[in-house]
Chain A
Amino acid sequence: MTNTETALKDAMSSIEGALGAALVDYGSGMALGTLGGSQSLDLNVAAAGNTDVVRAKLRTMEMLNIQDSIEDILITLSGQYHLIRLLTGRGGSGLFLYLVLDARRANLAMARHQLKRIEAELEV
C-alpha cells in the first residue's frame, strides 16, 4: 500500500517518458497531489479540464444505459499521450490518476500496465 506522494513519485520515475502526474478528485475538479509538469503544463489546469472529460464520459454512458465502469481513458496527441485511470475501491472512488507521457519516449503498453499496478497499490 502506498500513499499519494509515493504513487506519484513511482509513476514519474518508473514510467518511461512521464512528463507529469496528478491524483484528481473529479467531484471537485481539484488535484489531491501533483508531480512534474512545467511552465507549459500546469497540472492544476489539467486536473480541472480532465474532470470535465471524465464527467462527460460518465454522463454519456449513463445516457446510453451502459451499466459499466471506466477503467481508463487514453487521449493521443501528436506529441504526447494522456492517460486517465479511475481509482476503484478502498475509498478511492471519485478519484482518477492522470499521467502525461512524451509520445516519442513512452511505451504505451508498458505505461498502461505500470499505471494499473500503481493504482492497485495506492491507498488514499
Chain B
Amino acid sequence: MTAAPEVLTELQGLRARVPHLTGAMVASTDGLVIAHLVTGMEPDGVAALTAAALGVGARLTDAVGHGGFRELLVSGERGYVATYAAGSSCVLTLLASADANVGRLNLEARRAGARIAPLIDGALERPRQAPVPPPPRTSPPRIPPSRTPRPDNQSGVTS
C-alpha cells in the first residue's frame, strides 16, 4: 500500500509527542498490519488480536444501539492498549505504559486517526478510480494482502 510511509511518519510523530507510548500500529479491520512501530512483540499477532477485539467491540456498541465503533481502551496492570477507528477500514492501535496520560493519549490518537483515515482511504480508492499502469520490470510484482503471517519487516513497514 502506497500510503504506508506517510502512515509511518504519522506514527513517529505520535511517539515523539505522547510520553510513555511504547508502541503504535495501524492495521486494517481484518487484522493486517499496514505500518507499525512495535518492538519486542509480533505486530501480526497484535493486529490479529485487535481485529478480534474490534469485532466484539463493534457488536457490543451495535447491540446497545450506540452506533458504530470509535474507540476501545483496555487497561492492564502494567499499561494500556487503545484502539481508535481511522476511517472505515483501518484502526490505530497504541500501547502505553501505566504512567501514560490517557486524556492526552485520547486527544492525540483521535487527531492522528483523522489524519491517517484519508491517507488509507485514498490509497484504497486510487486503483479503483484509475487502473494502475503495469509495473516496470525492475520492481517486484504486487502481491495482494493475505492473512498468512509474513517474515518480520525490519523497516517497520509492511505493504
A residues in contact (CB < 8 Å) with B: 24, 28-31, 44-45, 47-49, 51-52, 55
Contacts and interface: CB of A to CB of B under 8 A. Distances in A.
Contacts of B107: 44-45, 48
Contacts of A30: 102-103, 106
Contacts, number: 30
Q: Is chain A's binding surface mostly helix, strand, loop or mixed?
A: helix
Of B19, B101, B102, B107, the most chain A CB neighbours within 10 A belong to B101
14 contacts: A24-B103, A28-B101, A29-B101, A29-B102, A29-B105, A30-B103, A30-B106, A44-B103, A48-B104, A48-B107, A51-B103, A51-B104, A52-B101, A52-B104
A47 B102 CA distance: 11
A31 B106 CA distance: 12
B49 to A, nearest CB: 23
Interface centre among B19, B103, B104, B105, by most A CB within 10 Å? B103
Most buried by B among A45, A48, A49: A48
Nearest to A27: B102
A117 B28 CA distance: 51
